[in-house]
Structure 1
Amino acid sequence: MTLDLYVPKISELHIADRPRERLLRQGAESLSNQELIAILLRSGTRSESVLQIANRVIGFYDKIQDLQHATVEEMTSVKGVGEAKAVQLLAAVELGKRLARKQSNDRYVIRSPEDAAAYLMPDMASLTQEHFVALFLNVKNEVLHKSTIFIGSLNSSIVHPREVFREAVKRSAASIICAHNHPSGNPAPSPEDIEVTKRLAEAGRIVGIDLLDHLIIGDHQFLSLKEGDFI
């Protein structure tokens, strides 16, 4: 028999232990995921505290990272979360995603596989379906554009070089970096991954736009096919 975890009401907590007061006194980094969500939700209902609703939101998803793919429909299916609260949460999630991309007035420069992975992981690490993405770079290795080329299982008949290099020519790219995710979390390359990589590298040599790397993104880990000598 599983016992439900008791979640106290805000009014039952000492004022110094309430989420907003603790944030002001100790900083946002000291708060739990539940407390941060409670602050975003702002208030509970007549029958439940905001902490209880926040706890239910967290329990609705397998892991906190899954919130980045949440929809209004999913959020409002959680008891105690109406449309207004769902919008507040999704706005905060989107702001966090934008901050994670390290957006600035300067273009993002990629000097290593680690740089490329840091740029891509916030969006790709928790995807539940395979996405094949291309980064188009200028001669200074600055990212000009990011494009999702294909969504679905990777194979050489679907991810065709012409789709990738058509966009590269359009963007006047000097080179490209490709990446796709493995929803299983394991970034080990499949035979199809290696075949696609070799076809793209050969096409790049023909058109004069180098394939610098092909990354496979797993569960907050990645593999570089360039470092694996597949390019």
Structure 2
Amino acid sequence: MSIKFLAEDDRPREKFLSKGKSSLSDSELLAIIMASGNKEETAVELARRILASVNNNWHQLSLLSVKDLTKFKGVGEVKAISITTALEIGRRRASQEVPEKAVISKSYDAYQILKNHLSDLRTEEFWAVFLNQSNRVIHIAQLTQGGINQSIVDLRVLFKTALEHFSTGIIIAHNHPSGNLKPSIEDIDITQKIKEAGNTLNIQLLDHLIVTQNSYFSFSDEGLL
């Protein structure tokens, strides 16, 4: 029986989307990997039987070979390989350390991150670095790409991105292809607008960098925030 014939609440994929991955049982997770069962069993029922054979232990399941898995009716080589591949990915993930996120404590730290994106461009681009409460970088994004003279940022896009990543701090940056580090009136104006909007959302604008090929200007360092 295919999963599509089950009641909607019993369909693992639909349940994943509507209630989240943590709502799924082990057998439902395994059923998603297999995608289908056999003539007598749904994918969930087949998954439940496979897990029962190893005392519902993922570690024990990972010890089964492709040949072992294909002994279950409805599990061919493709399904068996999918199961062992998923378990191998889990094993490798568990063996890896979570990469340390960069911490920004001064304007130069932000410049080091952004200069490779901005220093050699012929047109202006607007980028943002999104940080958590510990000033660790959680996301970096290009927000706009402009013409020869300017790149206008949409505040809605900026703060939508910040909210999506649960950011509490933002560093914005754009380049001056001319090499002039002096902020324009428009640069000062957009900085103030972003700062005010951030205050409303409790997302702090920490700095605004203007980047040229060899140097940078920091609004924070110059007391302009």
TM-score band by shorter chain is 0.5 to 0.7
1:197 counterpart SS class: helix
How many Å separate the matches in 2 of 1:154 and 1:202? 22
Residue identity (%):
38
2:182 paired with 1:188: yes
Q: Which moved more, 1:146-155 or 1:108-117?
A: 146-155
| Equivalent position of 2:222 in the other structure | 228
**Contact 1:186 1:219 (8 Å CA) reproduced:** no
- 2:167 corresponds to which letter in structure 1? A
SS of equivalent residue, structure 1 residue 128: coil
The partner residue of 2:171 within 170, 177, 185 is 177
Amino acid in structure 2 at the alignment position of 1:170: E
Q: CA deviation at 1:220?
A: 1.6
Superposition map of 1:203-218 within 5 A = 203-218=197-212
**2:123 matched to 1:134?**
no
Q: Indicate the residue corresponding to 1:124 in structure 2.
A: 118
Equivalence map 1:1-231=2 (5 Å): 105-152=99-146, 153-154=149-150, 158-231=152-225
1:44-86 Cα deviation digits (max 9, x unpaired): xxxxxxxxxxxxxxxxxxxxxxxxxxxxxxxxxxxxxxxxxxx
Q: How many Å separate the matches in 1 of 2:195 and 2:220?
A: 10
TM-superposed deviation, 1:160: 2.6
Q: Which amino acid aligns with 1:225?
A: F
Amino acid at match of 1:204: G
Report if aligned partners of 1:154, 1:193 keep a CA contact under 8 Å in 2.
Answer: no
In 2, Cα distance between the equivalents of 1:133 and 1:123? 8
Compare CA radii of gyration and give the structure with the larger one: 2
In the TM superposition, what is the alpha-carbon distance from 1:135 to its structure 2 partner?
0.5
| 1:111 maps to amino acid | S
Q: CA RMSD in A?
A: 1.5
Gaps of at least 5 residues in structure 2 are 1-97
Q: Distance in 1 between matches of 2:220 and 2:153?
A: 19
* TM-score (structure 1 length as normaliser): 0.52
* Shift in Å, 1:123: 2.1
What amino acid is the match of 2:168? A
Query: Taking structure 2 as the reference length, what is the TM-score of the superposition?
Result: 0.54
- Paired with 2:208 and 2:183, the residues of 1 have a C-alpha distance of 10
Counterpart code for 1:201: K
* Structure 2 counterpart SS, 1:121: helix
Tell me the distance in 2 between the aligned counterparts of 1:127 and 1:154.
12
1:8-58 deviation per Cα after TM superposition (whole angstroms, max 9, x unaligned): xxxxxxxxxxxxxxxxxxxxxxxxxxxxxxxxxxxxxxxxxxxxxxxxxxx
Equivalents in 2 of 1:119, 1:220: separation in Å?
Answer: 14
Amino acid at match of 1:185: G
What CA distance in whole angstroms lies between the structure 2 residues aligned with 1:223 and 1:109? 20
Q: Distance in 1 between matches of 2:140 and 2:106?
A: 17
Specify the code of the residue in structure 1 equivalent to 2:182. A
